[in-house]
Amino acid sequence: MERSFGLAFTTLTIFAPLAHASHPHQAIQPEGTARALEFVATPRPSGASRSVAGTSLRSDLMFARQVLPAAATGTGRALSRIIYLNPNGVILYPGKNDSSRDVSSVIAEPTLIEAWDTDELTWALTAQCVAEIYAPFDVVVTDEDPGDTPHIEAVLGGSPSDVGLPDNVAGVSPFTSDCAIIESSMVFAFTDVLPDDPRTICEVISQEIAHSFGLDHERLPSDPMTYLDYDGDRTFQDQSVACGEFSDRKCGINGTSCRQRQNSVSLLRQRLGPRGGGAIPSGDSTSDDSDPAEPDRGLLGGCTAADGSSGCAMALALLLLRRRRR
């Protein structure tokens, strides 16, 4: 307890200026008008609402994407097949995305994202939900920092103003103009502007994570990649649908196009592999990705999203309760 307090006191003392600094304003641009490293999002039509599993969200909330140049990373499976859920706060540095060193393209200067101030049960249920949503795919979900092992870092905490974005941005991820995998990406769900509800936070951060695997918003209410209202628990759907927020469009960002339609399950199987790391099921394909070879897998051990069993999910939830011990 004394050690934890000392660490917290030192962190707050040294980095308090970052927490209270006025960060450079980063405006949201209309689709088709943004330059590289700027942000796009689609406002909700007047009078439209959005709810997650019966929990109403602010009607003005948006989910932003940062425009990155084409990555030309090919169509093979991602190296970053560990999803690191970080609700503990983080000091970020600007630059090309590198989750191992907390470097993010989203920020313009060193920035402190404060921890998500929630109770242990809410956190454990949120983490278990993310593991269940990604259970069909060959990924590890953990709350332990993987260090130099390639991973996606999902930051849960703070406010959009911490990174200079408007206060109605609930989440953000970088996104390339060719819908490529962004290795070692850092994505964000801003818990200060979201309800303190496990399913809500889970579905928001699941969407942001998937953006860094190249998935666009889509017009299917039951899928986490949607903007549309849905009174139930969203999961990735094995169905080819149009991309878009409130109207159909081709899949891409800022006026670019990388595919005509999107099948979330098929695309994630291509880029992550199916649960257990086996071959992609016969006939499982997307319009833009070929069947890739699988690179070596770096596992952290213990329960993962790929385990899929209810017993392992419960063990994962209990394991994640340890977060508050530090």
Q: What is the pLDDT along the chain (326 residues), one digit of tens a residue?
A: 332 323 344 444 445 555 555 677 999 999 999 999 999 999 988 755 566 656 777 888 999 999 999 987 766 899 999 999 999 999 999 999 999 999 999 999 999 999 999 999 999 999 999 999 999 999 999 999 999 999 999 999 999 999 999 999 999 999 999 999 999 999 999 999 999 999 999 999 999 999 999 999 999 999 999 999 999 999 999 999 999 999 999 999 999 999 999 999 999 999 999 998 766 655 444 444 433 333 333 333 335 554 555 445 545 555 555 444 44
**Residue 135 CA: distances (Å) to CA of 194, 221, 293:** 24, 20, 20
- CA–CA separation, 133 and 152 (whole Å): 16
- CA–CA separation, 131 and 179 (whole Å): 23
Q: Which residues of 56-66 are buried (b: 16+ CB within 10 A; e: fewer)?
A: ebeeebbbbbb
- CA–CA separation, 68 and 73 (whole Å): 13
pLDDT digits (tens, 9 = 90+) for 180-199: 999 999 999 999 999 999 99
**Residue in the block written with tokens 């242990």:** 120
**Residue 259 CA: distances (Å) to CA of 95, 212, 242, 290:** 28, 16, 10, 13
- Angle at which helices 120-133 and 198-211 cross, to 10°: 40
Which pTM does this prediction carry?
Answer: 0.83
